[in-house]
Chain A
């Protein structure tokens, strides 16, 4: 059963004189544990598609079904709960909360979920160690490099064990070394935690790591290539 099922998804922006069709009848399915890159030229609809999957925006028509539930029909409060419990986000500009330390940023989502302190501490320590950030736990984001901030953002996205992670150009602001480190960490955690990763990217290094590449153009899927089998299918 797919983790995400997208059916006839369209999004049209009517804010200018000429309507802009950002998504034009997208049909896609994502399986558990996928490591997928959505690629295409700027303005092809990558970010819009990610926003629809994450419940950050409403489509003009079509549906996004996650575990038999169409999230496009959810109200604002239910969508927030859905994101809190099922989606992890990684942004291009890291977007850590500047007044919280590294540890507090990662704890933040689990605290919103009212998880007990021990669970939070165990999970946060595990992830920050996995990310190589264990010596920076009490540092505020402004004292970290871009690569370090993005590693914290990955830990934050993974902390609540979401069903899938949406990463919008996560390496766009990073140098090549930081990008490689980050991609290796994400690939490792993808394998260990069996979380579905969906990236939007222009970065060839991300594409090289991806096991499936979806190419968008003018809001349509023009190719969908599975390069390597997922670890789940390898194991099975």
Chain B
């Protein structure tokens, strides 16, 4: 084996320039493939993170039928069985209760439809760091009657400032009138304009009082320690809860987002496919030349007693070495760049940023450092290199020694 490896390694460098050119093509392919995939995954992660943190959670528990008819009448009172189930499941890091509905927000001559969310302050802050998004005033404490938080877009539209009063008017539980006036305790700014323009937060008991739905919730959003284990947690909750509750995962609640990701992902895979084809031809060309120029050498080796299997191993070593050197050098170079862009995402500006915001996505391009990106791209390039070795293997198995020696 050592002899085979030595021969393979030296064969690689007998034509240094050609090997370096091939290595460069594998290197570039690995760098591009990992970078493309990393940004795709990073952006998807950001999109999913936004949806999960600011909206649904990874899993949501609500009253059966609520998702199709999101009305204040489809609320529920969390019973002890639900609370016990949430405590029992180890994968649940946070269960965030919410009461959500719509109302008209009015101030002087200005009126706007808004989404009112009653929140448990500490839990909500743990979920989406809403306290950190307060730009004026202060976040909630656990006290009833403390006021309201509104987005800076809404404040601007309604020409409100800290301490002003906002009137909310809507329909409460089972047709009651929901009306209240609240001093503006804080103004927040989220990365998503959509939220800034149409969202108001109330302390949960205040919201329940506004909508005449004491102790009732529209949903409990659940955050997970291990998002990859979402299925087992969902199953556990479904088994633990009675049929009046519904347990849904984030993809079912964010279908358009999932479709968008799938579409974009398919485009990315096609791009990678083209890139891989270019690499495949480059590697195949080199392996082909390395085979054709060494036909006689192969014949001599077999003639003096080397088994064809051994020669096959040498050729595979040569190909794998080209692949591995390209993969390792490419990965080592791109990793620190991606690590930096993971911590300091590219901030999108202009029309691109607006498009992102229209879709409710934070306009940033973070890089993902998911190790599987490196692993899969590495394995794919290695696979391509190994496929390129098929012709030499076919040739080694078939060539006739005497005939080749004569050439």
Q: A51-B402, A56-B405, A91-B405 are in contact. Are A99 and B304 (CB under 8 A)?
A: no
| Chain B residues with CB below 8 A from A109, complex form | 304-305
Chain A residue with minimal CB distance to B11? A99
Q: Is B10 an interface position by the 8 A CB rule?
A: yes
Query: When the two chains form their complex, are residues B303 and A47 in contact, meaning their CB atoms are under 8 A apart?
Result: no
CA distance A111 to B306 in the complex (A): 10
A68-118 with Cβ < 8 A to chain B = 76-77, 80-81, 83-85, 89, 91, 95, 97-100, 108-109, 111-113
Query: When the two chains form their complex, are residues A99 and B402 in contact, meaning their CB atoms are under 8 A apart?
Result: no
Q: A47-B406, A51-B402, A57-B401 are in contact. Are A95 and B297 (CB under 8 A)?
A: yes
CA distance A170 to B274 in the complex (A): 52
Q: Which of B310, B405, B406 has the most CB of A within 10 A?
A: B405
Query: When the two chains form their complex, are residues B305 and A56 in contact, meaning their CB atoms are under 8 A apart?
Result: no
Chain B residue with minimal CB distance to A48? B402
CB distance from B34 to the nearest CB of A (A): 33
Q: Is A219 an interface position by the 8 A CB rule?
A: no
Contact mask B360-402 → A, CB, 8 Å, 1/0? 0000000000000000000000000000000000000000111
Q: Is A156 an interface position by the 8 A CB rule?
A: yes
Q: Is B288 an interface position by the 8 A CB rule?
A: no
Q: Is A45 an interface position by the 8 A CB rule?
A: no
Query: When the two chains form their complex, are residues B305 and A112 in contact, meaning their CB atoms are under 8 A apart?
Result: yes
| Chain B residues with CB below 8 A from A47, complex form | 406
Query: When the two chains form their complex, are residues B402 and A91 in contact, meaning their CB atoms are under 8 A apart?
Result: no
CB distance from B197 to the nearest CB of A (A): 70
CA distance A99 to B406 in the complex (A): 22
Q: Is A33 an interface position by the 8 A CB rule?
A: no
CB distance from A174 to the nearest CB of B (A): 18
Q: Is A40 an interface position by the 8 A CB rule?
A: no
CA distance A84 to B338 in the complex (A): 53
Contact mask B273-307 → A, CB, 8 Å, 1/0? 00000000000000000000000110011111111
Which range contains the number of A residues in contact with the other chain? 20 to 34
Query: When the two chains form their complex, are residues B10 and A108 in contact, meaning their CB atoms are under 8 A apart?
Result: no
Q: Is A147 an interface position by the 8 A CB rule?
A: no
| Chain A residues with CB below 8 A from B405, complex form | 51, 56, 91
CB distance from A1 to the nearest CB of B (A): 24
Query: When the two chains form their complex, are residues B300 and A97 in contact, meaning their CB atoms are under 8 A apart?
Result: yes
| Chain A residues with CB below 8 A from B301, complex form | 97
Query: When the two chains form their complex, are residues B3 and A80 in contact, meaning their CB atoms are under 8 A apart?
Result: no
CA distance A128 to B402 in the complex (A): 28
Q: A56-B401, A56-B405, A80-B305 are in contact. Are A95 and B7 (CB under 8 A)?
A: no
Chain B residue with minimal CB distance to A81? B305
Chain A residue with minimal CB distance to B8? A99
Q: Which of A56, A83, A91, A109 has the most CB of B within 10 A?
A: A56
Query: When the two chains form their complex, are residues B402 and A57 in contact, meaning their CB atoms are under 8 A apart?
Result: yes
Query: When the two chains form their complex, are residues B305 and A99 in contact, meaning their CB atoms are under 8 A apart?
Result: no
| Chain B residues with CB below 8 A from A80, complex form | 302, 305-308
Query: When the two chains form their complex, are residues B297 and A98 in contact, meaning their CB atoms are under 8 A apart?
Result: yes
Query: When the two chains form their complex, are residues B10 and A84 in contact, meaning their CB atoms are under 8 A apart?
Result: no
Q: Is B343 an interface position by the 8 A CB rule?
A: no
| Chain A residues with CB below 8 A from B300, complex form | 89, 91, 95, 97
CB distance from B99 to the nearest CB of A (A): 76
Query: When the two chains form their complex, are residues B303 and A83 in contact, meaning their CB atoms are under 8 A apart?
Result: yes
Query: When the two chains form their complex, are residues B305 and A83 in contact, meaning their CB atoms are under 8 A apart?
Result: yes
Query: When the two chains form their complex, are residues B304 and A156 in contact, meaning their CB atoms are under 8 A apart?
Result: yes
CA distance A79 to B400 in the complex (A): 13
Query: When the two chains form their complex, are residues B303 and A85 in contact, meaning their CB atoms are under 8 A apart?
Result: no
| Chain A residues with CB below 8 A from B308, complex form | 76, 80
CB distance from B1 to the nearest CB of A (A): 11
A–B complex contacts, Cβ < 8 Å, 26 sampled:
A47-B406, A48-B402, A51-B401, A54-B303, A56-B402, A57-B402, A80-B302, A80-B306, A80-B307, A83-B305, A85-B305, A89-B303, A95-B296, A95-B300, A97-B297, A97-B301, A98-B14, A99-B11, A99-B14, A100-B7, A100-B10, A108-B304, A109-B304, A112-B304, A112-B306, A113-B305
Closest 6 CB pairs of A and B: A84-B305, A99-B10, A57-B402, A95-B300, A51-B402, A56-B402
Extra 11 A-B pairs, beta carbons < 8 Å, given A57-B401, A95-B297: A56-B402, A80-B306, A81-B305, A83-B303, A84-B305, A95-B296, A98-B14, A99-B10, A99-B11, A112-B3, A112-B304
